[in-house]
Amino acid sequence: MSRTEENKTFIMQCPHHWPGKKVVAAGKRNKLHFSTTFVYAVRGANGITKLGPRKNSQKAFVLSKPATMDDADVVAAAKEAGLTITENYVRYVRSSPRLMVNGAAAPATVASTVEEEFNALVIRIGTERAMELLRKFPRVWLP
């Protein structure tokens, strides 16, 4: 077995909750030499990653609130939940490119009714485009 394969095998045998530095230290005790970057590369290649955001994550909290909720109300709700965030942080999280669809913020929650789904779609594509699409239906009267 090559040295690299031996290192990979050792890394995969270490508990997955160990941080990279602890794995490197354990490897040195076993006369193996590799870096924390190598540990993360081996773990990542084998599908071993952290399990998403922490339960008390500020970002997860902001994203769990509806996009229609005012920034100040999100900050107040966060304070009640024991988190400290600012309105600027709420705007930053909501404006993340990952959450953007056609320049508008995607809804944070799944719409539960047809009207909510329609409103979310109008927000995504814009009112002008929605009006153009609705004018294609002969039974729909629009000004």
Task: Choose among 108, 112, 103: nearest CA to 68.
Answer: 108
Q: Are residues 66 and 92 in the same domain?
A: yes
Q: Which residues of the chain have pLDDT under 50?
A: 51-54, 100-103, 108-111
pLDDT score for 110? 46
In a domain, 79, yes or no: yes
- In a domain, residue 53? The reply is no
Query: What is the structure's pLDDT at 34?
Result: 92
Give a yes or no: residue 50 inside a domain: no
What is the pLDDT at residue 56?
56
Residue 51 domain flag? no
Instruction: For residue 128, give its domain range.
Output: 110-143
Q: What is the pLDDT of residue 53?
A: 38
pLDDT at 52: 39
What's the total number of domains in the chain?
Answer: 3
pLDDT at 121: 80
Task: Return the number of other C-beta atoms located less than 10 Å from residue 13's C-beta.
Answer: 9
CA–CA separation, 128 and 60 (whole Å): 32
Task: Say what the pLDDT of residue 72 is.
Answer: 93
Block residue for tokens 């039974």 = 139
